[in-house]
Chain A
Amino acid sequence: MESLIFYLLSAVTLISAVFVVFLRRPMHNVLSMIVVMIGLAGLFILLNAEFIGMVQLVVYAGAVMVLFLFVIMLLNLDQIRLPIDPREGRTWIGVGTALALLLVLFPILRAVIPSGTSAPETGQTMSNTQIIARELFTTYLLPFEIASVLLLAAIVGTVILAKKRS
């Protein structure tokens, strides 16, 4: 049952990821990206990380992708067709490099990662959210506060960058 769900979610995620990269209209890219996010959220929940899965749904599929849609509509990008690109040589060099990365990654993963047993029993009595909260507000309190400062800086920077120069 677990493998069935895993393969289903992986197939959905991978196919949508291919759509994200290769479809030509930005609107279609964003919609496929939302499907990728939902598939990944399902995988996270399958991995017993319910809290992260829900955050993924709310933050990524909800907020971030809406931001993308908003910008695409604001700039009217869907109407703008980039001219059929000549696909210069260096683009193909880049793609070849990426595929070579895949060919390097697979043997490394196969060699280094001890091949598989199924996941250990979690044996946790507290819920996933409780454990994360406890860690986040004790051990990782300082990074948590720094993250809030980073978000504040991002807000201010975004407003200033997107402001109309008068």
Chain B
Amino acid sequence: MVTLQHYLFLSAILFVLGAVGVMFRRNLIVILMSLELMLNAVNLTFIAFSRYLGSIEGQIFVLFVMVVAAAEVAVGLAVAVAVFRQKGTVDVNEINLMKW
């Protein structure tokens, strides 16, 4: 029997994996991908609650999260391309112009 907790644990592990990716990796593209991983973990939580509470709102929210994620990826990758043109690298340690 699969319970709500199963799904929540799965999505917690996925979220933490994404967080590890954001902090561990230095390639800007891979960091963006880890962000996507975290967003998808949250989506899984929404869908699981939507199923187990018998309410459709969770799925609507997931649609909006997907819209925002798509916009974020497009802009983020455009920024990555611009940074690569400027610096010749996507290593986040090299991109320190605005670092304090």
Residues of A within 8 A of B (CB): 2-3, 6, 10, 13-14, 17-18, 20-21, 26, 29-30, 33, 36-37, 40, 43-44, 47-49, 51-52, 55-56, 59-60, 63-64, 67-68, 71-72, 74-75, 77, 80, 82, 85, 91, 94-95, 97-99, 101-102, 105-106, 109-110, 113, 115-120, 122, 128, 131-132, 135-136, 140, 143, 147, 150-151, 153-155, 157-158, 161-162, 164
Residues in B neighbouring A51, C-beta threshold 8 A: 59
Q: Which of A21, A101, A109, A132 contacts B59 (CB 8 A)?
A: A132
In the complex, A161 Cα to B81 Cα: how many Å?
8
Residues in A neighbouring B33, C-beta threshold 8 A: 20, 29-30, 33, 68
Contacts A20-B21, A132-B63; A26 near B30 (Cβ below 8 A):
yes
Contacts A6-B6, A18-B17; A40 near B43 (Cβ below 8 A):
yes
Contact A162 B89 (CB under 8 A): no
Closest to B8 in A: A109
Please give the distance in Å from A118's CB to the nearest CB on chain B.
Answer: 5
Contact B47 A91 (CB under 8 A): no
Contact A64 B73 (CB under 8 A): yes
Q: Would you call the interface of chain B mostly helix, strand, loop, or mixed?
A: helix
Instruction: Provide the B63-100 mask, 1 if CB < 8 A to any CB of A, else 0.
Output: 11011111111110111111011000111010000000
Residues in B neighbouring A56, C-beta threshold 8 A: 43, 66
Contact B8 A113 (CB under 8 A): yes
Contact A17 B82 (CB under 8 A): no
Contacts A47-B47, A116-B5; A161 near B37 (Cβ below 8 A):
no
Q: Which of A82, A98, A131, A155 contacts B56 (CB 8 A)?
A: A131
Contact A154 B71 (CB under 8 A): yes
Residues in A neighbouring B27, C-beta threshold 8 A: 26, 77, 82
Residues in B neighbouring A55, C-beta threshold 8 A: 63, 66
Contact A161 B23 (CB under 8 A): no
Contacts A26-B29, A60-B40, A136-B60; A82 near B21 (Cβ below 8 A):
no
Contact A99 B16 (CB under 8 A): yes
In the complex, A128 Cα to B44 Cα: how many Å?
17
Residues in B neighbouring A80, C-beta threshold 8 A: 89-90
Q: Which of B9, B22, B71, B72 contacts A106 (CB 8 A)?
A: B9
Closest to A122 in B: B54
Residues in B neighbouring A14, C-beta threshold 8 A: 10, 13-14, 17
